[in-house]
């Protein structure tokens, strides 16, 4: 059964989880912050809570290292690189300017140490050593970065190096860097914990994590700062309070304090005036639908991923969810995981989320009698 573009609204409307009653409160405009561009969004639902110039191409500085980390994590997950592998420190890596973890040319350094040196100490030298070990060269590694960016849907970004030092062809958008930061949180939670490390010591030198949110917000646990004269002061941050996680991106602030104040203001705004709820868990049946021509007549269907909704505080009673399915119904065979419709979440008259509805079991072709019976029933 193939999902067709024309959808028919089913009569049923799903029940939503019961939530504590709250008084609806007015939501002010987002805070005015000193930045060339910013973005605030909910991690679970992807709902944008505030943005300015989020799709403008800007210089990323060391925010580039978020993508560098993601590429290395993917290679580790694929079994192509191990944390215990030793990378050779080339002269190119050793000579790279800017912030350093102070690796020494000609030495071997473990991949885990290089990752910590890049994440906590923002080492440009560590970034090059990682790129050369994983990609063979900085240029080949940049190709990997761009391939992963394309796969993640980062349409406004282009990478030429792993550290973020200025290059005319190196640029990102706030929306894109949020995308890869959230991919790390989602795909590699074990590695993401490193982004909250307060300090790291290598070669007898201890350096503090540059992320000011780790000191200003006890719920912050990442992600990365960046600075060059051309890019200004940048910061991607993430905080989790109760079951709600927000991610903010601030780019092009004039001072270190300005980027910290902007990030904290955005976080406080989001947590103060918005709430987020998981409405339906992944792979849990929300309805059973009639199947024609199959070896069973009823099919359990549900979302392929957790369904979340983020909205202004106090508006939970306005939530409603409905199911939409293919106009001509469901016809066997249907494979588990195949999309058979969509779940649409509404807040009052506004659609705020639309997610695939999938089959939670296989339905094979029915026998001749079943097919003949269903052919007659479908006429009526």
Query: pTM to 2 decimals?
Result: 0.90
Is 2 a residue whose pLDDT tops 90?
A: no
pLDDT at 126: 98
Q: Is 259 helix (H, G, I), strand (E, B) or coil?
A: helix
By the 8 A CB rule, do 236 and 247 touch?
A: yes
- Percent pLDDT > 70 in the chain is 92
User: What 3 state SS string does 123-161 have?
Assistant: CHHHHHHHHHHHHCCHHHHHHHHHHHHHHHCCCCCECCC
pLDDT at 356: 94
Query: From the CA atom positions of the chain, what is the Rg in Å?
Result: 25
* Residue 332's pLDDT band (cuts 50, 70, 90): confident
pLDDT at 12: 46
pLDDT at 24: 72
Mean residue pLDDT of the chain comes to 92
Gap between the Cα atoms of 105 and 111, Å rounded: 15
pLDDT at 374: 59
- Percent pLDDT > 90 in the chain is 85
Give me the mean pLDDT over the 131-147 stretch.
Answer: 98
Alpha-helical runs (H) found in the chain: 64-77, 91-95, 111-119, 124-135, 138-152, 174-187, 189-192, 213-216, 256-273, 368-379
pLDDT at 373: 73
Is 225 a residue whose pLDDT tops 80?
A: yes
pLDDT at 3: 37
Give me the mean pLDDT over the 237-262 stretch.
Answer: 97
pLDDT at 25: 72
pLDDT at 322: 92
Q: Is 251 helix (H, G, I), strand (E, B) or coil?
A: strand
Binding residues: 224
Tens-place pLDDT, residues 226-247: 999 999 999 999 999 999 999 9
Query: What does the block give as tokens for 311?
Result: 């909205």
pLDDT at 9: 41
**Which residues are identified as catalytic?**
62, 65, 122
pLDDT at 369: 77
pLDDT at 371: 67
pLDDT at 21: 54
CA 96 to chain centroid: 30
By the 8 A CB rule, do 89 and 104 touch?
A: yes
Gap between the Cα atoms of 313 and 306, Å rounded: 21
Binding residues for substrate: 224
Cα angle vertex 330, ends 325, 336, to 5°? 95
Write down all domains in the chain, each with its CATH number in brackets. 7-21+279-379 (2.60.410.10), 37-253 (3.40.710.10)
Strand order in the sheet with 37-42: 48-52, 37-42, 244-253, 232-241, 220-228
The residue with greater pLDDT, 366 or 266, is 266
Cis amide bond preceding 7, omega within 30:
no
Is 379 a residue whose pLDDT tops 80?
A: no
Give me the mean pLDDT over the 194-203 stretch.
Answer: 97
Give me the mean pLDDT over the 149-170 stretch.
Answer: 98
Is 31 a residue whose pLDDT tops 50?
A: yes
Give me the mean pLDDT over the 245-260 stretch.
Answer: 98
In the chain, helix, strand, coil percent, each to 5? 30, 35, 35
Give me the mean pLDDT over the 84-104 stretch.
Answer: 97
pLDDT at 8: 38
Q: Which pairing describes strands 287-292 and 330-331: parallel, antiparallel, or unpaired?
A: parallel
pLDDT at 10: 42
According to DSSP, the residues that pair with 351 across neighbouring strands are 346
Is 16 a residue whose pLDDT tops 80?
A: no
* Residue 157's pLDDT band (cuts 50, 70, 90): very high
DSSP state of 317: G
pLDDT at 96: 97
């Amino acid at each position: 059964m193939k999902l067709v573009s024309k959808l028919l609204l089913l009569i049923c409307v799903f029940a939503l989880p019961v939530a504590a009653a709250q008084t609806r409160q007015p939501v002010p405009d987002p805070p005015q912050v000193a930045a060339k561009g910013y973005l605030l969004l909910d991690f679970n639902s992807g709902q944008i809570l505030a943005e300015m110039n989020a799709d403008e191409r800007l210089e990323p500085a060391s925010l580039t290292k978020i993508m560098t980390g993601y590429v290395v994590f993917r290679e580790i997950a694929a079994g192509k690189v191990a944390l215990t592998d030793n990378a050779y420190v080339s002269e190119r890596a050793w000579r790279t300017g800017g912030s350093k973890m102070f690796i020494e040319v000609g030495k071997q350094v473990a991949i885990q140490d290089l990752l910590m040196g890049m994440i906590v100490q923002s080492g440009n030298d560590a970034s090059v050593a990682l790129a050369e070990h994983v990609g063979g060269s900085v240029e080949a590694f940049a190709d990997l970065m761009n391939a992963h960016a394309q796969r993640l849907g980062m349409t406004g970004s282009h990478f030429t190096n792993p550290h973020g030092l200025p290059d005319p062809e190196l640029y990102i958008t706030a929306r894109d860097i949020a995308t890869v930061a959230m991919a790390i949180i989602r795909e590699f939670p074990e590695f993401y914990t490193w982004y909250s490390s307060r300090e790291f010591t290598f070669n007898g030198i201890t350096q503090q994590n540059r992320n000011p949110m780790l000191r200003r917000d006890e719920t912050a646990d990442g992600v990365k700062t960046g600075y060059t004269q051309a890019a200004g002061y940048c910061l991607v941050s993430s905080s989790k309070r109760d079951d709600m996680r927000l991610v903010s991106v601030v780019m092009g602030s004039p001072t270190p304090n300005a980027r910290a104040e902007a990030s904290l203001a955005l976080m406080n705004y989001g947590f103060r005036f918005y709430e987020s709820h998981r409405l339906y868990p992944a792979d849990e049946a929300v309805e059973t639908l009639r199947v024609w021509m199959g070896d069973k007549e009823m099919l359990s269907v549900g979302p392929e991923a957790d369904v979340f909704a983020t909205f202004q505080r106090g508006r939970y009673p306005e939530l409603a969810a409905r199911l939409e399915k293919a106009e001509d119904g469901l016809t066997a065979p249907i494979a588990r995981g195949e999309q058979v419709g969509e779940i649409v979440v509404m807040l009052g008259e506004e659609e705020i989320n639309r997610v695939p509805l999938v089959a939670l079991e296989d339905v094979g072709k029915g026998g001749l009698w079943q097919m003949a019976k269903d052919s007659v029933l479908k006429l009526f």
